[in-house]
Amino acid sequence: MSGKKPANKAWGGRFSEATDEFVTRFTASITFDQRLYKQDIRGSLAHAHMLHEVKLINDDEFRQIKVGLASILEDIESGLFEWSVELEDVHMNIEAALTAKIGEAGKKLHTGRSRNDQVATDIRLWLRDEITDIHTQLIRLQNGLLDLAEREAATIMPGFTHLQTAQPVTFGHHMMAWFEMLDRDKGRLQDCLKRLNRSPLGAAALAGTTFPIDRELTASLLDFDGPTANSLDSVSDRDFAIEFCAFASLLMTHLSRASEELILWASAQFSFIDLPDRFCTGSSIMPQKKNPDVPELVRGKTGRVYGHLMGLLTLMKGQPLAYNKDNQEDKEPLFDAVDTVSDCLRAFADMIPAIEVKADNMREAALRGYSTATDLADYLVNRGIAFRDAHEVVGKAVAFGIAHNKDLAELSLAQLRAFHPSIQEDVFGVLTLEGSVSSRNHVGGTAPEQVKKAVAAARTMQSLEK
């Protein structure tokens, strides 16, 4: 085709030679942006509706455009549509198909519009739908955590700092910690949606249009909260995609942390939980292996989502107003971030309710690690000893326990009193795991009673949201 004018191109008028074959492929986005076909058609229908309303197209033209777009949608969904790389992107593919189907009326659709505001609209519409799905998945996962937390509100496990046994906590409390992380993620997602939900349509190429368009009308037809305020900003802004990836990155941070804990807990060394076989795979060489692939993959996939956030930030850095072709690079990272997050949420939401808790092993581990040492120090403080002195006394008792291979609760009253005369028979009440957790009975504490309250409060919030 070289040497010939690109007659099939919407912008071919001012060109005297055809586009280089490699450049055609290099500049095209059709291989990935065809994913926006539904939103592109929806946006075109709203635009045509508005053109008709302000009398830029007549009744018959509007009708033909509607019929034509509906049949294109059908062709695409039944796999009959032929995407052409020559036509560069989803917008020009659909517009060319429309003109091929209905003739002159098809050529009028692009009045008062540019691909710049068109793509900005499409991608917002697309992300808005995806955000709704992701929101639903997040809630499903959160509800799974609430059920598990409630069921295991009184199940005792060691709590860790520095991955060393610190104090006993309840497993339900641990699940509620995950719930809280996700709840903040949900807030960030909702926040992203609020700013995203404005219509760029009508900004045209960059400066607006000379036609008497009605931007309020297209915004409301597309269920946006209203039109964007500045045409230059409208066609160049990709903040919403970056915000989504920032949300996604933090969500993945949280899922990777939960994954890491599940992996540790499922190991033979911890043996706190069992992951059902359907979420694990085996080894081709070691017959005994059962690998926690699902949480490992979630942990691993976190990296690509961070990468997309960094990619999009760098894509926008230093870009002059208004639209630049650079922005075509926004789609693949955004699509992949959405797909990754959706899959990971789904995997987690399916897996959480199926976790089998090995309460006896958790309890055993909590008993082994001197996890009630702080309780003994607090006991002494309640009998008038300064905390620093109490800390010292208990440190010595722990050293004695280690030397004799006994936990604090296993020492006799006489042995304990050797460290401080204020210690009485009632000390065993605080040295038990149950005594320890149930005495942390305040908002945000690990007591089973508080866990149940936190679950109930969270359930109320969840039900208000829907």
Q: Which residues are catalytic?
A: 162, 283
Taking a C-beta distance cutoff of 8 angstroms, is the pair 179, 140 a contact?
no
The secondary structure element, H or E, covering residue 170 is: strand 164-170
- Least distance in angstroms from the C-beta of 206 to ligand ARG: 9
Of residues 19, 99, 116, 436, which one binds ligand ARG by CB under 6 A? 116
* DSSP codes joined into one string, 244-293: HHHHHHHHHHHHHHHHHHHHHHHSTTT--EE--GGG-B--SS-TT--B-H
50 to 89: interface string for ligand ARG, x by CB under 6 A: ---------------------------------------x
Using the minimum distance from each CB to ligand ARG, give the nearer residue, 114 or 137. Answer: 114
Using CB under 6 A as the criterion, what x/- string covers residues 132-171 for binding ligand ARG? ----------------------------------------
Q: Which stretch binds ligand ARG (CB under 6 A): 53-61, 282-290, 324-332, 349-357?
A: 324-332
- Residue 312 vs 345, nearer CB to ligand ARG: 312
146: its two tokens? 């609430």
Cα 251 to Cα 255: distance, rounded to the nearest angstrom: 6
Instruction: Please count the other Cβ atoms lying within 10 Å of the Cβ belonging to residue 56.
Output: 17
284-323: which residues touch ligand ARG (CB under 6 A)?
323
CB of 119 to ligand ARG, least distance (A): 4
Regarding 115 and contact with ligand ARG (CB under 6 A), the answer is yes
**Nearer to ligand ARG (CB atom), residue 165 or residue 328:** 328
Q: Is 21 helix (H, G, I), strand (E, B) or coil?
A: helix
Residue 119 binding ligand ARG, by CB under 6 A = yes
Peptide bond just before 46 cis, omega within 30 deg: no
Instruction: Tell which one of 18, 33, 182, 219 touches ligand ARG (CB under 6 A).
Output: 33
Give burial (CB, 10 Å; 0-12/13-18/19+) of 222.
buried
Q: Near ligand ARG by CB under 6 A, which window of 13-21, 114-122, 310-318, 411-419?
A: 114-122
Q: Which stretch binds ligand ARG (CB under 6 A): 53-61, 113-121, 287-295, 403-411?
A: 113-121
CB 48 → ligand ARG: shortest distance, Å?
Answer: 19
Q: Residue for token digits 């368009």?
A: 213
For residues 380-419, which are near ligand ARG according to CB under 6 A?
none
> Nearer Cβ to ligand ARG, position 26 or 59?
26
Give the residue among 454, 459, 432, 452 at the shortest CA–CA distance from 444: 454
Q: Are 156 and 70 in contact (CB under 8 A)?
A: no
- Cβ burial, residue 141 (10 Å; 0-12/13-18/19+): buried
Residues at the site binding ligand ARG, with contacts judged by CB under 6 A = 29, 33, 89, 115-116, 119, 323, 325, 327-328
